[in-house]
Structure 1
């Protein structure tokens, strides 16, 4: 019967994970170091666990703009750099024609 128990536990874990990803869960905490009522260091920790769909529903989509995670964002950034470089070249060419 241990095999059956293992299957039930796996199903239970999968159900819990599905619920957490569907609803989302926030874990928050602060770490503060003080000496004589003077704050020396404050660290704020926030962790959100949710599915991509739920995160986007909440307006969280930072990974789409991160050039390390999104090829579209990287291509967009490179295009902006090319456009900027082209504008600079055109300005320099215009200045050299005047003088």
Structure 2
């Protein structure tokens, strides 16, 4: 019997022992969906020292996640920030108050 292998023929291994094909690279949309679903944290510190005296420290913290995932982690600062949350802005009420104030000032100033 010969121990030579004919590499041009199909693999002599049974189908159950064959390895699965190499995984295909994920496209950008799949990768972004996975990152937003699971979340990604990047953290780092930059320190500048001169003769063992700390002159500057910069702490960098970056979280990339979907809004749902962030809420799940207890992060919801954007809901309470009046510059970002439309719920905090009562534009109609503010407009009404300003019109009333304007009318009052015009009434005081006379004809």
Q: Output the TM-score relative to the length of structure 2.
A: 0.56
Offset of residue 46 of structure 1: 0.3
Residue of structure 2 equivalent to 1:39: 54
Higher gyration radius (CA): 2
Residue of structure 1 equivalent to 2:63: 48
Residue of structure 2 equivalent to 1:29: 44
Q: Structure 1 stretches of 5 or more lacking a match? A: 1-7, 80-99
Structural mapping, 1:58-97, within 5 Å: 58-75=73-90
Equivalent residues, number: 70
Supply the distance in 2 between the matched residues of 1:34 and 1:26 (Cα, whole angstroms).
26
Structure with the higher fraction of residues in helix conformation? 1
